[in-house]
Structure 1
Amino acid sequence: MAPDPWLAAYDSAHGLAQEIAEKIHERNRCLRNGENPVKVNVTVRSLTQNLHGKIEHLKEALLRSVSMRQITQLEGDRRQNMVDDLVTKEKQLQMLFKNDGAEPDVVRSSLMSGGRPSRHNPWVLEEPEETRGLGFGEIQQHQRRIIAEQDAGLEALSSILTRQKLMGQDIGNELEEQNEIIDDLANLVENTDGKVRRQTRNVKLVDKKSGSCAMLLVIVLLLIAIVVVAVWPTK
């Protein structure tokens, strides 16, 4: 199984940091013994520059892997933490180198711890259980499967949101149609009410005219009766 190039580069930087810590320890021993540490100092400066270059390379490679989705976001975050801790270690080494012989026990024990990430090393993270022992190709396949599952979940969520949007549009259209029907009913009721009022006025008018005609007919009949009685010959 081919190793992951990024992890291999990290191991190289990690080992270089340990070598720098050992050289600083050797420089400090020379100072305590009264020996000349110039040669060791030159070596430490050269190794420190090399370590800085390796860290920058790790940062660029990690950024490229995340942007091209060669690794999952979770794995990217894990490796970013590893790089951050390596940067912290680089700063600790610089502090030790400038202290001219002073080596705090806590810092020194952290710097002198070796190997790959372990739970006893506070500045590196342990590899996840699901990728432990897998080769580079298998890790890529595992990462592609995780990305596919995430994409499937996003597609399902997108489908749900699309259906909800369509349902909202249908409800909006139905409400608009109901409002139009209510408006039509209101107009119909208003028109009907107007017609009823007009018919009521007509009925009242006809009723008044009918009463007047009946009274006129009675008067006419009375006049005729009077005339008939007046002109009818008496025996």
Structure 2
Amino acid sequence: MAGDMWLSEYDSCAALAQDILQRINERNRHDRTSAQYTKLSGQIRSMIRQFSNDLNRLKVNLSRTAMYGLTEREKERRQSSLDELMSKEKQIDQAFNLQRQDSGAGRSALLGAGPAGWNSDPWGVREEPEAIRGMSVDEIKQQQQHLIKAQDHGLDSLADVVAKQKRIALDIGDEVDHQDEILDDIHDHMDTTNQRLITETRHIRIVDRKSGACGMWVVIVLLFIAIVVIAVVPYDGKP
């Protein structure tokens, strides 16, 4: 049953390859700058990706045919059929890229993207971005002009925001300078006050030392007077 499924998938893949070649021939009858040409190119790319996936699936399933109980002769026959599809793959690749070689450079320059800016499919075909797929060259130009205008508008808005931030920064700088002046004045006043405190403290110490010395002299004088009085007054012997 699995072997029959492989044959069915092979027939579908072969039919798809033939359909792709017919679509390529139909596309090549149109002008390369026409919308129909671009539309058909997008459809063909999608079909090529599907064909590639189907072909890879056939390769994987063929490598597992041992579990299907196929004879060696049948395996060789299917491998030969698969080789024909792989040759058809190269034929499709050449046919699809035949007319794109001349127009590819101009279109890439218009889009501003080289090989790194395009996605590559399994056929080596550079795939256009989804945003411009199916569009003509004139439509792409119009879209680019619209994007450029939108970017210019965004840059103008950004410039206004930057200018506003600059004005705010200048105002903050002026306020900081003003606060620095106030702090400098406070610092000067604190230095003056500190110096006055030191001077007054020195005066208080001097006065305190002088006050202590005067008190001692008063006590000495009083003691001297008491001694003199005692010495002068006669002692009568009475208690």
- Smaller-chain TM-score bracket: 0.3 to 0.5
Greater relative contact order (Cα 8 A, min sep 6): structure 1 or 2?
1
TM-score of the pair, normalised by structure 1: 0.41
TM-score of the pair, normalised by structure 2: 0.40
